[in-house]
Structure 1
Amino acid sequence: MPPKRADPRARPHVPRSPRVYQRTIARLTRIAVTEGYGSTQTRRTLHFLLHTDRGLSSRADYVDPQHVPDFDGDVAWFEVEKIERGGDHRWPWWRAVRQVEPPADA
Structure 2
Amino acid sequence: MDAQLMDRLQQTHSAVWNEKDRTKRDALMQTIYADDIKMYDKEFILSGITAVSDFIDTLFAGDADFSFTLIQPMESTQNGARLYWTIRTGPQPNVLTGMDFFVVENDKVAHLFVFMDAS
Asked if Structure 1 and Structure 2 have the same fold, meaning a TM-score greater than 0.5 normalized by the shorter chain, the answer is no
**Superposition TM-score, scaled by structure 2 size:** 0.26
**Superposition TM-score, scaled by structure 1 size:** 0.28
Greater helix content: 2
Larger radius of gyration: 1
